[in-house]
Structure 1
Amino acid sequence: MRLIVTRVQPQARQWADRFEACGRDALVLPLIEVRGLADATAVRAAWLNLSNYKAAMFVSRHAVDYFFQAKPAPAHGEHALSAMTPRWWATGPGTAHALLAHGVATPSLDTPPEQAGQFDSEALWRQVHPQVQPGDRVLIVRGDSVTPDGRSLVDNDQGVGREWLAERLRQSGAQVDFVVAYQRGAPFWTDAQCGLARSAAADGSVWLFSSAEALGHLQSLLPGQDWSAARAVATHPRIAAAARDLGFAVVTQTRPTWEEVRASVESLA
């Protein structure tokens, strides 16, 4: 049984290596690419204004990395970093580890516990909502979904995710500001990659999905593809629903920890 790992790089390669170490054949076919901004003026301005926020929330490790890449030179130093904002919020362990790697102190970090197995805005909100007071300001650092020609896409993330969290914050009396730190979009697949993906739609491979956006890109990359013989493991109910809507015959939903994803894969062997 072959696994198709669709995460963004370098996480896709890291997950594939872990599966291969367990004796599984894993093919990397990323369905999302990320890149920096041509103009990071807004991100630098957010850094300069960071001390006015109660918390800064990051939607992914890429949001962390690109945000810190734009950090103005005068702000360097652990003391300056710790004084900028009381709290740093992360939706999951990958994002949390990225913040720690950039110098955020553990006591200043809020994130769902790794053993909980749910890493999204709803899980984060359960951790942080007691902190929020009317009049607080919260910064949400996110990416911007773009088309191959660079046009921004309409944000459809209304049911869960950053917009859901922003609405909870507003209901608690907080002011929410957004800043875009990077761009994310569909990859450019070669003919060989498209051929491998078409084969994997019918040869018993198991696709691993951690993003509903990735499934939209897959549909665009392979229009008209028949997925009625395909199998998938999805790490969120919304992602599982998107896979079923695309036509995947077998969709197993699991929590996004390595142990549970691996167990779901083994159940399909």
Structure 2
Amino acid sequence: MARLPSPDLELGSRRVVVTRPEREARAWADALHACGVPCDTLPLIEIAALPDASGLGLIWQTLPSHLAVMFVSANAVRFFMAARPSGGGLASCRAWSTGPGTQAALLMAGWPAESIDSPPDTASQFDSEALWALVADRAQAAVAAARSCSGAQPTVLIVRGADTQGQLAGRDWLALQLEHAGIQVQQTVAYVRQAPVLTAPQRAWIRQAIQENSWWLFSSSQAAQHLLQLCPDLPLGQARALATHPRIAQRLLNAGWGRVEIVPAGLKDQAESIKSLA
């Protein structure tokens, strides 16, 4: 359940409401606050384990056959690594991530740094496009090598989340690029992304935050969707949002948010961008 922000908190024109899942939201809000950006958290995506994770153990047995395993998030790493069979070593294949949070989770889980491909901290965006720019040459070389010796088609495993109906969460852009390059894509679900349960006081706080011009920080369009599902009558015309990617920004504008600004995904640049807003 989402935690109600502190009742003695004074909402201000530059206060930021971080909507990431709870595990990441508090750390991100604390880091922004340390950079001079007043923050609070209202997680709008709840992360849960699969009802039955036994299938992940079977997936682990296939890892040595893959060219790479792509993790869509730190939660994908956390739940997938938790399903590692007892005594099983890490796979010899490479791990792909789209940003520093996922990369840090891989390192914490013990994945060798030299076997991780992830956009640098200085990248302008942390997304599938940035990752593909980094790994495309290696992937295409693997396809060419397989074809030259009539070998098996290279495969990439994508580890991601799903909603409560089992629908895969996230974009298929990278999968399409891989398939176009001649790589077979396999996908597995490691966790569930669902809407939180909000209390009446939380709903009232949300309305107050919007009316008092707080900035809502979205790094996922799903969080914004959950907000509107849970509070469908919000005065979005006066609401202000920060989006970490142009795609998210466009979806917020399409949903009726009154003002939407794009901010960098990286922490320090994001903080400076937020502080520059009027």
TM-score (norm 1): 0.90
d(CA) in 2 for partners of 1:19, 1:260 = 10
Task: Name the count of aligned residue pairs.
Answer: 254
Q: Give 1:87's aligned amino acid.
A: R
Q: Give 1:166's aligned amino acid.
A: A
The corresponding residue for 1:144 is 162
The corresponding residue for 2:9 is none
d(CA) in 1 for partners of 2:37, 2:132 = 36
d(CA) in 1 for partners of 2:81, 2:87 = 13
d(CA) in 1 for partners of 2:38, 2:265 = 20
The corresponding residue for 2:16 is 3
Matched, 1:113 2:113: no
d(CA) in 2 for partners of 1:7, 1:248 = 18
Deviations 1:143-194 (A, max 9, x none): 0112xxxx234x585xxx3x11111111111111011000001111111111
The corresponding residue for 2:240 is 231
The corresponding residue for 1:40 is 53
Across the aligned residues of Structure 1 and Structure 2, the Cα RMSD in angstroms comes to: 1.5
d(CA) in 1 for partners of 2:92, 2:228 = 41
Matched, 1:131 2:145: no
Match of 1:171 among 172, 177, 180: 180
> Which runs of 4 or more aligned residues in structure 1 lie more than 2 Å from their structure 2 counterparts after TM superposition?
18-25
3-state DSSP of counterpart to 2:58: helix
The corresponding residue for 2:210 is 201
- Aligned-residue offset at 1:25: 3.3
Q: Give 1:138's aligned amino acid.
A: V
3-state DSSP of counterpart to 2:224: helix
- Aligned-residue offset at 1:232: 1.2
d(CA) in 2 for partners of 1:47, 1:131 = 23
Deviations 1:69-125 (A, max 9, x none): 0000030xxxx31xx232110110000010011111111110011101311111100
The corresponding residue for 1:71 is 84
Contact preservation (8 Å) 1:44, 1:72: yes
3-state DSSP of counterpart to 2:238: coil
- Aligned-residue offset at 1:210: 0.5
3-state DSSP of counterpart to 1:260: helix
The corresponding residue for 2:62 is 49
- Aligned-residue offset at 1:9: 1.4
3-state DSSP of counterpart to 2:206: helix
d(CA) in 1 for partners of 2:39, 2:237 = 21
d(CA) in 2 for partners of 1:202, 1:231 = 10
d(CA) in 1 for partners of 2:232, 2:157 = 38
Q: Give 1:104's aligned amino acid.
A: W
3-state DSSP of counterpart to 1:241: helix
Contact preservation (8 Å) 1:206, 1:232: yes
d(CA) in 2 for partners of 1:43, 1:117 = 33
Contact preservation (8 Å) 1:6, 1:208: yes
The corresponding residue for 1:62 is 75
d(CA) in 2 for partners of 1:24, 1:130 = 40
Matched, 1:181 2:190: yes
d(CA) in 1 for partners of 2:101, 2:222 = 19
TM-score (norm 2): 0.87
Match of 1:261 among 252, 270, 273: 270
Contact preservation (8 Å) 1:252, 1:264: no
Contact preservation (8 Å) 1:233, 1:261: no
- Aligned-residue offset at 1:249: 1.5
Q: Give 2:99's aligned amino acid.
A: G
d(CA) in 1 for partners of 2:183, 2:33 = 46
Match of 2:100 among 77, 90, 93: 93
